[in-house]
Structure 1
Amino acid sequence: MAAGRRSMQAFKILRRAVARFNNKNAWVLSSHIAMSMMMALFPFVLFTVALSGAIASLFSHRVVVGDVVDLVFGSWPPSVAEPITREVYAVLETSGTGLMTLGGVFALYFASNGVDAIRVSLLRAYGQDETRPFWKHRLISLGLVVMGGAGLLLAAVFELFLPLGARFVARFFPDLDFLRGWENGTNGLVVAVVPVAAVFLYHLVLLPRRASLLHIMPGAVFTLLLWWGAGAGFALYVSSFASYSATYAGLAGAMAALIFLYLNAAILILGAEINGVLQTDRYADKR
């Protein structure tokens, strides 16, 4: 009986969140986020590769770049990620990796536009007004891009050296069975952590009035679960039913990626709207 009441309550919250989503024209905002993220995707990868140039004397540049690209697109369905990664590598073949260049500055700025589009969607979902000056919330967006690039680079280095370290230690302690599980890296664990970290950072950092971790948890968990389900479903759709190549010819890969980002943006906003509903209920209870 109690489980049934909780299920009914969760359904009512979801229905209210969907109503808020539709009333705020969130589908339009989702397309704005998707286009902004699509435009920011290549600059972000280029910026991250530029960061790898700073440690080129310590690590193999090609290995690090390959690992970074895998981490960026590792959570995407393979049928969607493969055409985009091919273009990424094509761009990297003809691009420099200098960090302190005019191109690097523009890459950083355009990549931050995608984060700023998410900030706007979260403001509307939580019913907040932007009270910070332009320079401040733009610096926050830029900071998240830098943090994301540095985090992916560190994760790539970690993935590179974890197996080497495990094999080295195993030489001296061959009876430690748990070391054998790390000889091939984390086997996708880092890839799974990247979207989790991104969702929580968006909710915690981008809003002027920050909610507690407990209050953002429902929408964040909903977003991550639905992202996983939507990714699996979209991969099945693209590989089995869709015929983007017949409709968009050479743009098929880009269009599939854009639609995938559009779907994920809508899920992100819907998760924020769930938190918005719960926030409204908390304010009503206090009165």
Structure 2
Amino acid sequence: MEKLRAVYRYLKEKYSLLTLRKYTTLAGTLVFFLIMSIVPLAFWMTLLIGKLPVNPERILALPVFESVKGVLEYVRTEAKSATTGVSVLLMVTSLYSATNLFYQMRKSGEIIYDFHKKRQGFRVRLGALVLMSIVMGMVVGFLLVYAFGNFLFSRIFSRTWELIADYLLLTGVAFLLVLLLNMYVCPYKARTKHFLPGTALTVGLWGVAVAGFSVYLKISNVGRLYGALSALIVFLLWLYILMICFIIGVIFNSERVKNEGGIFKETGKISNKNARKGNTVYK
């Protein structure tokens, strides 16, 4: 019984921390900027992978994307049509719009980590551009590996084992992506190991959330409730749930960075003295 009380107190403490950091508000804000950035991001991804031997439809055909496949297909089609006769002005404006999500992620990270040092917006925007380039490179690399793996797995494994291999690859890429985002949103210099637990928590919650969301859609009648808007509502709800999982992981990591001496000096060495005193060293 005492163990159950300890677990209850622990969960209550963590939930109080989440509410203190306004995790649902931050998640909703990031979903808004994701919606605003998703077509520009898809536009640039289409420019990058347009001539590569990859077929994104194979990935969208995975059961994990079944509930939002229609919206994702629409975004991909619109982005592909926008690349026809593209102008320099469109490329510049879409590039700026595409960085908004990562820019706001960093700002949200500063709120979560209680970071008050003033920074130049241009530097943060430039960092968002660099991160966007890295993320797009990771996606292109994943598509190439997936195309090769799909070609190989389909000839070696049965359909069940092929799906398992696909999900393992997708989970690995998701882990690397979330780890990169966690390191980016943190305004302090910290060791990579301090971001691993929160990253694993986010990816694990994503798996549970996607599975639970699929079950919810099967037992509920969303189409009757929302009618023609059901596909869009489902997509927004799907994004909101995934973003909440991401914010939870970031908040979890923020406590580790603050409480476990994960603050770096400019030399790159951990300063336990600074960590004990509560001093912080900025990036």
TM-score, normalization by structure 2: 0.77
Residue of structure 2 aligned with 1:20, choices 17, 27, 30:
17
Residue of structure 2 aligned with 1:260, choices 205, 213, 238:
238
Cross-structure match for 1:143: 130
Deviation at 1:211, TM superposition (A): 2.0
**AA at the equivalent of 1:146:** S
Q: Does 1:32 align with 2:29?
A: yes
Paired residues, number: 261
> How far apart, in 2, do the equivalents of 1:113 and 1:76 lie?
30
Q: Does 1:286 align with 2:281?
A: no
Cross-structure match for 1:173: none
Q: Retained in 2: the 8 A contact 1:50–1:97?
A: no
Cross-structure match for 2:178: 199
Q: What does 1:1-287 correspond to in 2, within 5 Å? A: 12-53=9-50, 56=51, 59-60=52-53, 64=54, 66-67=55-56, 77-92=64-79, 94-96=81-83, 101-129=88-116, 131-161=118-148, 180=156, 187-243=166-222, 245-282=223-260, 286-287=276-277
Structure 2: give runs of 5+ residues left out of the alignment: 262-273, 278-283
> How far apart, in 2, do the equivalents of 1:157 and 1:52 lie?
9
Moved more, 12-21 or 251-260: 12-21
Deviation at 1:113, TM superposition (A): 1.4
RMSD of equivalent CA atoms: 3.4
Deviation at 1:235, TM superposition (A): 1.2
Deviation at 1:248, TM superposition (A): 2.9
Deviation readout 1:148-183 (Å, 9 max, x if unpaired): 22221222223334566x69xxxxxxxxxxx9469x
Cα distance, 1:75–1:151 mapped onto 2, change above 3 Å: farther
Q: Retained in 2: the 8 A contact 1:132–1:208?
A: no
> How far apart, in 2, do the equivalents of 1:50 and 1:115 lie?
20
- Partner of 2:96, secondary structure, is helix
Moved more, 221-230 or 129-138: 129-138
Deviation readout 1:68-127 (Å, 9 max, x if unpaired): x655x5788334222212312431453225777322332222222122222222222222
Between 1 and 2, higher relative CO (CA 8 Å, sep ≥ 6) is seen in 1
- Partner of 1:132, secondary structure, is coil
Deviation at 1:26, TM superposition (A): 2.5
**AA at the equivalent of 1:50:** L
Deviation readout 1:58-77 (Å, 9 max, x if unpaired): x44xxx3x32x655x57883
> How far apart, in 2, do the equivalents of 1:285 and 1:157 lie?
43
Structure 1: give runs of 5+ residues left out of the alignment: 168-178
Cα distance, 1:38–1:26 mapped onto 2, change above 3 Å: same
Deviation at 1:275, TM superposition (A): 2.2
> How far apart, in 2, do the equivalents of 1:204 and 1:123 lie?
12
Cα distance, 1:93–1:208 mapped onto 2, change above 3 Å: closer
Q: Retained in 1: the 8 A contact 2:33–2:104?
A: yes
> How far apart, in 2, do the equivalents of 1:70 and 1:9 lie?
46
